A and B are shown apart, each in its own frame.
Chain A
Amino acid sequence: MPDHGPASLGKVAPAACGAWRLAALRMGVPLLAATALILAAWTAAGSAKAGFLFGVVLPYGSLALFLGGITWRVLYWARAPVPFAITTTCGQQVSLPWIRSSPLENPHTRWGVAGRVLLEMLAFRSLLRNVRHRWVADEGSPPRLVFRASLGLWVGAIVFHYSLLLVLLHHARFFLDPVFGWIEGISRLDSFFRVGSAAFFLSGIALTAAALYLLGRRVTDPWMRHLSLPSDYFPLYLLLGIALTGGMMHYSTRTDVPAVKAFCLGLAALHPGTLAGVGPLFHVHLALACVLLAYIPFSKLAHMAALPLSPTRNLPGAGRMIRHRNPWNRPVPVHTYGEYEDEYRDKMKAAGIPVERQAP
């Protein structure tokens, strides 16, 4: 029997949690790596080979790594069979006609499954369920285990991903001429407020804030600090670096926008131009973005492609209704009824239990 009742479990001491030195190492090493990348890009910006490096190697190389890598990764996942329908059911099954089932939380049709996966991809449905446990001690009574909704991660994740999408859409203006009207429209809405002469993009600020929040919870929450790896911090640093350099170019330093646009249009048209006259900040921005892009397929960032393939979410919950085939279903040893009856026949007969054969 445990010596601790819920009473002693109630006394959580976050201060005692985690080892800061280890955590600092885990946060620090990727920070150094990101800083080194920034310095390298800054330095390389002024070199003789800068045009080739930033105009050809980085953008096309990273794009190739991203496309090739993510294709390889998805094919690697998809090539493995799904032997069993291991759906996690999060609502009432379809059963008797007078019981209302949950078509999205426990789907039994293709449409239901599609809806479930889409809700998960577009609205982060499962994160929306999040609750945190807490021990609450009232005066004079033992502590109680209570749960409260915890939507911080959902809000952070939604803001992060959607503002990232918006920021990427804004960047389409550099690669398109003319820019699609709907992108212009989104950009106009997003930059409703102005700072001086520069358009003030809410999405950029939201992205930075959300990334800082996601970083912050890894650093401040003792359990998150305990479990986070350098590879969890690294992409956040890259992204913050990209956002910061982007913001600096947009709001403070004078960047030759027409030159950048000409460069990007050249990239899109497979006629890489030069970056003559464009400052090193842009080189850093571009280099970090390329590294991040190439990093996606080979890291946890590939999660975006994994979700629609996740067998607990993309299969119907009605396991007894819909046949699921296992391509490698294989024979296993079975103790047959015949063997069983041979062993117990006399006793079965004595007990008046019917048997198949009177003797072996």
Chain B
Amino acid sequence: MPFDPSPRDWLEPTTKFAAGRWSYSAKPKALNTLGFPNPRDWSPAEPDWKLPDNWKEIILQGLKERMGRFRSLRIFMDSCVRCGACADKCHYFIGTGDPKNMPVLRAELLRSVYRGEMTLAGRILGRLVGARRLTPEVLREWFYYFYQCTECRRCSVFCPFGIDQAEITMLGRELLNLLGLNINWVMDPAAKCFMTGNHLGITPHALKDNLEFFVDTIEEITGIRIDPPINKKGAQVLFVAPSGDLLAEPGIFTLMGYLLVLHQSGLDYTWSTYASEGGNFGMFASHDLMKSLNAKIYAEARRLGVKWILGGECGHMWRVAHQYMETMNGPADFLEEPVSPITGTRFENARTTRMVHIAEFTADLIHHGRLRLAPERNDGYRVTYHDSCNPARSMGLLEEPRYILGKTCRHFHEMPAETIREKTFCCGCGAGLGSEECMDLRMRGGIPRAEAVRAVREKHGVNLLSCICAIDRAVLPTLMERWVPDVGVAGLHELVGNALVLDGEKPRTTNLRGEPLGGGVA
């Protein structure tokens, strides 16, 4: 029975790791590249984690420092009343039934140590006030549960004090990173991003090859050969996409959609091989690493002399762009306030950070009648839309994608209201938890999303789950295959790319996937 909380006191650490619910440790090479502490070969499954002797001192010192730097941490440590409103808001709790996946208890894992080590009442009254000391077992438990949170922020929507488990997880992981307790699925892409500019380690010439492959495919389908500029100095706009879209299906179809819209709009833009990543796995390790990886975007915009930045469809990328980028690496005074040269629209909401979401850009084009659309080309799809967590809860990008879907698809159906917009459910694999080895966790965490898709599949025959996040595109196909077979996954701009009529194009016989038009997902 998965729904059986341990009869034990939750103050007792959980040290037994369930199979398929934890990720492999980071390789020393990645930590060396990034200058992170304690690079070594180790495994979370082993009893010896090869920690420095003064590990406890390091953590407590780190916690104290962060209490001084983040008001959020002070408030979130002190103000929870354990009302339980957040308890079943977490997809991992719904999927695993593990009580420590209730956001309140995940936060208490850290709070209990804060009370036990740093407050007078906690030191005297101990368990009566939910306080405990930091022990090696508690540390193991932190590792297990801080890597069972996707920082999706759904709990924080329902909390009457706005306590944000994502913030606690981010800071908890920062503490773990002080001891070299990190996972390879985060640190390896972060190290690659540091060196090559993107998580996948795509080198500049390979990036060009990939783009050329997409250009060829687009030519086959539309008869139009487009020429995406790379590292072009003096372009008006720098375009930054999540690198996942360069490599694997179905992300590559989304990328073809970007190429088509950017070509047809006539925007003077450029790709960059150096700032070739919008996503930011640094966010899943520490604020400093987030800043370090993000710095490339403004640096490249400055070097190329662009006026503003346009960003592709990615989830946590937009959390960083919307809530951290300008604070960390700004001011962006070397850029101009973004104005669409095609419609003349001034993107007021991006006037400081000077980075525009492609859904905002495309919605504006469509609204001004600048794109000719043939939505019937998407008739094979009955589409629903997954609000990707970060654009929904850390930005509020809710209507733009829906407007675009309404103009590019003729069969669109919303999932149940409790599972969309600010209440959207995570794919179950965000924040670096998309590895093969934690598949059990992924499939369980994805259950609420999958169930909502199943509901519209049964009611409306939905066969395509659209989204605006590269992680979604990477992981949702596996989730659908497991729980709701026959539902495909597509980025928003794939559907735009299908519907968009290019000037002078030949009659299309297939969609961007090469499937006959009107066919739909198999």
List chain A positions with a Cβ less than 8 A from chain B.
Answer: 1-2, 4-6, 8-9, 11-13, 16-19, 22, 29-30, 73, 76-78, 80-96, 98-102, 105-106, 108, 120, 124, 126-127, 129-133, 144-147, 153, 157, 217, 221-224, 226-232, 298-303, 306-307, 309-313, 317-326, 328-330, 332-337, 340-341, 343-344, 347-348, 350-354, 356
Could you tell me which residues of chain B, from 181 to 226, have a CB within 8 Å of some CB in chain A? 194-197, 203-205, 208-209
Chain B 270-302 interface mask (CB, 8 Å, partner A; 1/0): 000110000000000001110110011001100
Given contacts A157-B83, A332-B295, contact A80 B74 (CB under 8 A): yes
The reply to whether A320 and B355 contact each other, CB–CB distance below 8 Å, is yes
Chain B residues near A99: list those with CB within 8 A.
363, 399-400, 403
The reply to whether A347 and B164 contact each other, CB–CB distance below 8 Å, is no
**B11: nearest chain-A partner, CB-CB:** A229
The reply to whether B128 and A9 contact each other, CB–CB distance below 8 Å, is no
Chain A residues near B322: list those with CB within 8 A.
319-320
Bound: A231/B321 CA distance, A: 40
Chain B residues near A11: list those with CB within 8 A.
1, 3
The reply to whether A226 and B5 contact each other, CB–CB distance below 8 Å, is yes
The reply to whether B197 and A340 contact each other, CB–CB distance below 8 Å, is yes
Chain A residues near B247: list those with CB within 8 A.
none
What are some 13 contacts across the A-B interface (CB < 8 A)? A29-B128, A78-B71, A89-B392, A99-B363, A99-B403, A232-B81, A319-B395, A322-B352, A335-B296, A337-B303, A348-B204, A354-B232, A356-B303
Chain B 500-518 interface mask (CB, 8 Å, partner A; 1/0): 0000000000000000000
Could you tell me which residues of chain B, from 341 to 361, have a CB within 8 Å of some CB in chain A? 345, 347-355, 360
Bound: A217/B205 CA distance, A: 62
Given contacts A84-B323, A84-B327, A102-B396, contact A76 B349 (CB under 8 A): no
For residue B330, CB closer than 8 A to chain A, the reply is: yes
List chain B positions with a Cβ less than 8 A from chain A.
Answer: 1-5, 7-10, 20, 35, 67-75, 78-85, 87-88, 94-95, 97, 99, 102, 104-105, 108, 121, 127-130, 153, 156-164, 167, 194-197, 203-205, 208-209, 230-233, 273-274, 287-289, 291-292, 295-296, 299-300, 303, 321-324, 326-328, 330-331, 345, 347-355, 360, 363-364, 367, 392-400, 403, 416, 418-419, 421-423, 439-440, 443-444, 447-448, 451-452, 454-455, 482-483
Bound: A17/B87 CA distance, A: 15
Chain A residues near B349: list those with CB within 8 A.
93-95, 108, 318, 320-321
Bound: A309/B1 CA distance, A: 41
Number of A-B contacts (CB under 8 A): 347
Chain B residues near A344: list those with CB within 8 A.
203-205, 273
Add 15 more A-B contacts to A2-B20, A92-B396, A126-B85 (CB < 8 A).
A2-B443, A77-B71, A80-B71, A91-B422, A95-B347, A124-B160, A132-B88, A223-B5, A227-B82, A300-B81, A306-B78, A309-B71, A312-B164, A323-B331, A351-B208
If over half of A's interface residues share one DSSP class (helix, strand or loop), that class is named, otherwise mixed; here it is loop
The reply to whether B3 and A310 contact each other, CB–CB distance below 8 Å, is no
The reply to whether A90 and B157 contact each other, CB–CB distance below 8 Å, is yes
* A92–chain B nearest beta-carbon distance, Å: 5
Chain B residues near A88: list those with CB within 8 A.
153, 156-157, 162, 164, 393-394
Give the one of A11, A81, A127, A337 with max B CB within 10 A: A337
Q: Which of B74, B84, B102, B233 contacts A77 (CB 8 A)?
A: B74
Chain B residues near A334: list those with CB within 8 A.
292, 295-296, 299
Chain B residues near A337: list those with CB within 8 A.
274, 296, 299-300, 303
The reply to whether B422 and A2 contact each other, CB–CB distance below 8 Å, is no
* A14–chain B nearest beta-carbon distance, Å: 9
The reply to whether A22 and B160 contact each other, CB–CB distance below 8 Å, is no
Bound: A227/B107 CA distance, A: 12
The reply to whether B5 and A89 contact each other, CB–CB distance below 8 Å, is no
Chain B residues near A16: list those with CB within 8 A.
1, 4
**B451: nearest chain-A partner, CB-CB:** A145
